[in-house]
Amino acid sequence: MGRAGQHTGAALGQVSESTSVSIKEIQLLDADFFRRWMTAAAASVDREAERLTALDSPIGDADHGSNMQRGFRAVRTVLETEEPATPGAILQVAGRRLISSVGGASGPLYGTLFRRAGKALGDAAEVTEEQLTEALRTGVEAVTALGGAAPGDKTMIDALVPAVEALGTSFAAASAAADKGAAATTPLQARKGRASYLGERSIGHQDPGATSSALLFAALAEAAGE
């Protein structure tokens, strides 16, 4: 993907020939990186809001796009006004804002994801990719505990779980895995949320929550320049 070379090679364990390369191999993610992620997510949700709502129309209540848009606009605003200074603080502030502003189930679910991940990162000024992966894994586990969805239930979990698994490889791989997971929800029958009331009629539609999860991981890869 674009901006090749900026952060490459880290996860492949290439033999380094210079100190500067080996520093890049332990890629540290600072507060700016997390701000870029949230900003990219807000922009992506803005661009894709209509598609999210369109996906939510046949099997949901046609508000996922506008809910996510309201939530991430609020995140963008709060990051400007409160100026959290560490990766953990940024994710916690974002999560809290999503919980208070979204208005649908995606608010507490994504809010829990970011807040738990933020808590797991503590107050370090910089974190490693590995720490971020672990933090997001903790966050996804909290989402599972809250919503009770398992893989295959046609929910955001179907994108989040493979994305976090692939994060050990690269940000681009995580984004691709989330996309694939979201696309794979189409033939599934919903077993959680409002769509589950539709039974077999939920088959044939891509899950809006899995789709927005894929947008969040695409934004993460964008923040990483992958």
Partner 1 sequence: MSESAQKMVGVVLVSHSAAVAESVAELAKGLAGGGATAPVAAAGGTPDGGLGTSAELISEAAFAVDQGAGVALLMDLGSAVLTVKTLLAAGDELPANARLIDAPFVEGAVAAVVTASAGADLAAVEAAAKEAYTYRKE
Supply the minimum distance, in Å, between the C-beta of residue 63 and partner 1: 7
Among 88, 108, 181, 209, binds partner 1 (CB under 8 A): 108
Which range binds partner 1 by CB under 8 A, 5-13, 36-44, 108-116, 153-161? 108-116
Q: Which is nearer to partner 1, 102 or 132 (CB)?
A: 102
Q: Does residue 99 bind partner 1 (CB under 8 A)?
A: yes
Q: Give the per-residue contact string, 155-194, with partner 1 (x = CB under 8 A; - = no).
A: --------------------------------------xx
- What's the half-sphere exposure (Cβ side, CA atoms, 13 Å) at 178? 26
Can you tell me whether residue 164 is helix, strand or coil?
Answer: helix
Supply the minimum distance, in Å, between the C-beta of residue 7 and partner 1: 33
Residues that bind partner 1 (CB under 8 A): 61, 63, 67, 96, 99-100, 103-105, 107-109, 111-112, 115, 146-147, 193-194
